[in-house]
């Protein structure tokens, strides 16, 4: 358990984890609390009017110039000769469940100091929670699809889970409310970024679990299923503890009243 970002992994796997945990303690928790207060409306079907806009070549070039003039970093968009364009998108990873990464451990030969045919690599996998507030910048093309962005993010973090377990959402803030919409596989995030402009409040991208209602448990491996059972048991124990504490306080108040 890391004291900085609170991610959890097996003690033998700590050397395999490559994550930046230098963020200030508690900052991500405050952000999550704000998110729960603001997120009152979720729309996964209807895109906004500006998302439906179609731009010709001249309009694309003009939009890119306006976009580049508004950013304070070097994450510019560039127009290519074939009419496509490249640029950066920023994705916030807000995953509740642990992810699986590969791990390999060398099994030494029985004869120390004499490596032979008995030395072999045992393929393993381990699961851990990504730190809260994890953010990744990706350099993509205008025709890069949302499904390809998910694949690229999983490769960046060497996550070996099925990409269908995840979904890319667009997030926007309006009138003190947060709106989330799940992107279809064929949608183009960089095009949405160009149309919305660089403001994170107008549009930001979030990677979350793909909640489809029905969970296909056959898609998980046995270690993952055992991990979920342990997580559910901990959640159940915590819920029971909170209920007992609540009823104990009610009982105390009633006794005081009597």
Q: What is the CATH number of the domain that holds 143?
A: 3.10.20.90
Span 78-133, pLDDT tens digits: 999 888 999 999 999 999 888 888 875 444 443 444 555 544 444 577 887 888 88
Co-location of 200 and 238 in the same domain:
no
Do both 127 and 243 map to the same domain? no
Q: Specify if 108 maps to a domain.
A: no
Specify whether 240 is located in the same domain as 143. no
Report whether 198 contacts 70 (CB < 8 A). yes
What is the rounded distance in angstroms from the CA atom of residue 66 to the CA atom of residue 33? 34
Does some domain include residue 180? yes
Domain count, the chain: 2
Regarding whether 240 and 189 lie in a shared domain, the answer is no
User: Would you say residue 173 lies in a domain?
Assistant: yes
Domain extent for 232: 218-247
Query: Is the separation of the CB atoms in 140 and 192 below 8 Å?
Result: no
> Among 1-10, 23-32, 136-145, 176-185, which stretch is predicted with the lowest mean pLDDT?
23-32
The CA-based angle 92-98-100, given to 5 degrees, is 100
Question: Quick one: 241 and 176 in the same domain?
Answer: no
**Looking at the domain assignment, is residue 27 inside a domain?**
no
| Same domain for 151 and 69 | yes
Judged against a pLDDT cut of 80, whether residue 50 lies above it is answered with no
Please tell me whether residues 167 and 227 are part of one structural domain. no
Tell me what pLDDT residue 33 has: 41
- Rounded alpha-carbon distances, angstroms, from residue 69 to 4, 30, 89, 198, 204: 36, 32, 16, 10, 19
With respect to residue 107, please indicate whether it lies within any of the assigned structural domains: no
């Amino acid at each position: 358990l890391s004291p900085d970002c609170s991610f959890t992994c097996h003690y033998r796997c700590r050397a395999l984890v490559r994550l930046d945990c230098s963020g200030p303690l508690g900052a991500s928790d405050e952000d999550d609390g704000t998110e729960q207060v603001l997120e009152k409306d979720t729309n996964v079907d209807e895109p906004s009017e500006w998302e439906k806009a179609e731009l010709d070549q001249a309009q694309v070039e003009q939009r890119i110039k306006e976009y580049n003039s508004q950013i304070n970093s070097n994450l510019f968009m560039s127009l290519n000769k074939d009419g496509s364009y490249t640029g950066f998108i920023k994705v916030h990873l807000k995953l509740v469940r642990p992810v699986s990464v590969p791990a390999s451990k060398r099994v030494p030969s029985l004869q120390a100091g004499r490596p032979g045919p008995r030395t072999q690599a045992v393929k393993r996998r381990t699961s851990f929670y990504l730190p809260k507030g994890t953010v990744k910048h990706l350099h993509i093309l205008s025709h890069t699809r949302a499904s390809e962005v998910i694949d690229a993010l999983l490769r960046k973090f060497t996550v070996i889970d099925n990409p269908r377990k995840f979904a890319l959402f667009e997030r926007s803030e309006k009138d003190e409310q947060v709106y989330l919409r799940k992107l279809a596989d064929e949608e183009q995030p960089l095009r949405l970024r160009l149309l919305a402009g660089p403001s994170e409040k107008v549009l930001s991208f979030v990677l979350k679990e793909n909640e489809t209602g029905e969970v296909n448990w056959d898609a998980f491996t046995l270690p993952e299923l055992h991990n979920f059972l342990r997580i559910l048991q901990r959640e159940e124990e915590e819920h029971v503890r909170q209920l007992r504490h609540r009823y104990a306080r009610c009982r105390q108040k009633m006794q005081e009243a009597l």
